Structure 1
C-alpha cells in the first residue's frame, strides 16, 4: 500500500510522465530568445541582430455562450474570473495579468509554479461582483468567465474589455477549453494539449490494468464550509470526468449523472469506496472535516479501516479544472493505486 501522498511525490511522478511525453505541457510563453551570430543565446557572445516585430494578428470572432464576441488577435493581457479559465490560459502559455480567487482560499490554486502565480494580480473573489477598478488598471485585452459566475455582470465586464463566457464550468471543461483557446487565438496549441492528454490517459489506463487497479471504486468526498451536508461528488463534475476517462468505477451512491449528492455527517456509509479521496474547502473547524475525521461514522468506513482514505488538495481536485489539473489528478491516482 502506498504511503500518504505528498506533493513532492506527485511532482516526481509528474516529472516522469513529462519525460515519457504524456504529462502536462503548459506551453511556453512568447518566442524563444534569438540566437547570437556565434550560435549562443542572446546575452553571450556577439549580440543578436534586432528582430522585426511580428505583424499584428487579425481579430477573431468566437461563439461565446451568449453570442458572438470579437477579440483582438493574439491577446496576452488577460483577466480570468474562474479557475477553469485560469487553467486554460496557463496551459496555453499565457500567464493572466489578473485572476479571481475562491472566496475562502488565501490565494490562487497552488499547483502552478509560484513564479508564475507571483505575476498574477488577484482581482477579487470568483462569484462576487468584479473589482472593476482593479481590472481596468491592468489594461486587459480580454476577460474570460462563465455564465454561472457572471451572467448578470457581463455588461460591467464588457465595459472594460471584450469578455468571452462559457455557459458553465466543471464537467464540460474540454469544450470550455476549446472556446478559451479560440478567444486566446491558440487553436493549434490547443490541439497539441488535447493530444498530449489523450496519450497520458491511454498510458495511465494501461498502467492501471497492469497493476490490477482498474477495478478500484474511487470515492470523492468534499467538506465545504457553509454546507450542512458532506458532499459526495458524482460523475458530472471535473474530477468525476477524469475518473471516467480512466474507466475507474465509482461507488454506487456516486455513480450517477449528476454533480453531487449530500449525506449527513453521521451517515457516511455512502462515502465508502476502495479508495476514498477527501478534501476540505474553508476552515477545517467550520467545514466539518475535523469533526468527521474523529467520528465513529468515519472510522467505520472500510476505506478508513484499510488505510485507503487520503486527503487531497482541494484547489487541485475540485478547483483545478482543466488539462493541467487533469494531468496532476492522473499522476496522483496512479501513485495512490500503486500503478505509477
Structure 2
C-alpha cells in the first residue's frame, strides 16, 4: 500500500515542531520555529558594536499602506488564518484569538507550541486590553472580522488586515509573510505545497481514486442550527481542487459557503462525504441529521464512505500547514 503521511510527519516536514530547525532531507529548506523563532538582534558583548536593527517596511493592507517594524517576532493573530501563517513561517504569536465555541486554539498544532500563546479574546471580538498586554510589534487580522476595531488596534501596534479571512488564503499568506519579513521562508513553503499536491494527486490516481467527488459539510451551532456546504472558492474547495479531486454538482460552483436546507440533503451525496461539527453536536443538528432517514439513504453513507473530520483543521485551519494536513487525511480516506 502507498505510504500514508501522518499528521506528525507533515508537521515535521513543514518545520512545525517546536524547537525544530527543520527539515533538509525532505524539503531542502530550513524554517526556524519555537525557541529559535527570534531573528532580531541580540545584545552584543561590552565594547562590541550592536547589530543594526532591521529597517521598517511598508505593506499594502486592506486599509492602505502600513509601516511595520523589520523582522517582528511579537505578533498577535486575530484569527486562525493569521495563526496558521505565523506558525508556518516559524513565529509563535504572543497572543491570538480563539473561535467563540472552541475551548482553545486549533489542536492540529502541537500543544508545546500553543502553550506560550496568550488568549486575547474571541475571534471577531478581541479584547484591546489583552492585546496591549502582550506588547505586540504587529497585529494580523482581516477587515471582514476586525475592520470595526481597526483604529483601536492600530493605536496598540501596526495592524495589517487582509480583506477577508478565507478564500484568498494564498494571497493572504503572502501579505503575512511580507509583514513578518519572512518572504524567503514563504517561498519555500509554497514550493513544498506544490510538490505535496503533485505527489498526492498521483498517489490518489494510482489507487484508482482519481476524480472522486468529495462532499464537505459543516454542522454549525447557532439559531437556528444549519448545514453549510462549500464551493470551489472556499479554502477547503481550493485544497480539494489542488489535488485534482471533483465535487458534487451542488458544491461545484464558484461560491465560498452556502446553506444546505435539511430537506435537500440528497444534494450533498458524493463518492465520499466528510463532515464536521462546530459547537455542540446536538445544538448544531449533527445528531439529528446523522440519525435521519435522508442521511441513511445517501449513497456514500450506505457505502460506509462518510466520515467525521476535525472542524478546527478542515474549516478553521486556513493556511498552508492546515492544507498540507488536510491533503494527508484525504489520501488516507481515499486509500492512498
Instruction: State if a TM-score over 0.5 links the two structures.
Output: yes
In 1: Cα distance, 2:164 partner to 2:303 partner: 38
The corresponding residue for 1:132 is 128
**Contact conserved, 1:14 with 1:23, CA < 8 A, in 2?**
no
The corresponding residue for 1:197 is 193
Q: Provide closer, same or farther for how the CA distance between residues 242 and 53 of structure 1 changes in structure 2, counting only shifts above 3 A.
A: farther
- TM-score w.r.t. structure 1 length? 0.87
CA offset digits 1:209-266 (Å, max 9, x no partner): 1111111100000000115431111111111110111111000010000012222224
Is 2:155 the partner of 1:159? Answer: yes
Is 2:257 the partner of 1:260? Answer: yes
What is the correspondence of 1:100-249 to structure 2 with a 5 Å cutoff?
100-128=97-125, 130-226=126-222, 227-249=224-246
Q: Provide closer, same or farther for how the CA distance between residues 158 and 32 of structure 1 changes in structure 2, counting only shifts above 3 A.
A: closer
- TM-score w.r.t. structure 2 length? 0.88
CA apart distance, 1:56: 1.2
Aligned residues: 317
CA apart distance, 1:267: 3.0
In 2: Cα distance, 1:112 partner to 1:328 partner: 10
Where relative contact order (Cα < 8 A, 6+ residues apart) is larger, the structure is 1
CA apart distance, 1:29: 4.4
Q: Provide closer, same or farther for how the CA distance between residues 164 and 100 of structure 1 changes in structure 2, counting only shifts above 3 A.
A: same
In 1: Cα distance, 2:174 partner to 2:127 partner: 27
What is the correspondence of 1:4-153 to structure 2 with a 5 Å cutoff?
10-11=6-7, 14=10, 21=26, 27-29=32-34, 54-128=51-125, 130-153=126-149
The corresponding residue for 1:5 is none
**Contact conserved, 1:216 with 1:249, CA < 8 A, in 2?**
yes
RMSD value over aligned CA atoms? Answer: 2.5
CA offset digits 1:265-318 (Å, max 9, x no partner): 243101111010000001111000011111111111111110000100000000
What is the correspondence of 1:280-299 to structure 2 with a 5 Å cutoff?
280-299=277-296
Q: Provide closer, same or farther for how the CA distance between residues 53 and 278 of structure 1 changes in structure 2, counting only shifts above 3 A.
A: farther
**Contact conserved, 1:27 with 1:91, CA < 8 A, in 2?**
no
Is 2:272 the partner of 1:304? Answer: no
In 2: Cα distance, 1:31 partner to 1:116 partner: 12
In 2: Cα distance, 1:217 partner to 1:11 partner: 23
- Unaligned runs of 5+ residues in structure 2 are 15-22, 39-44
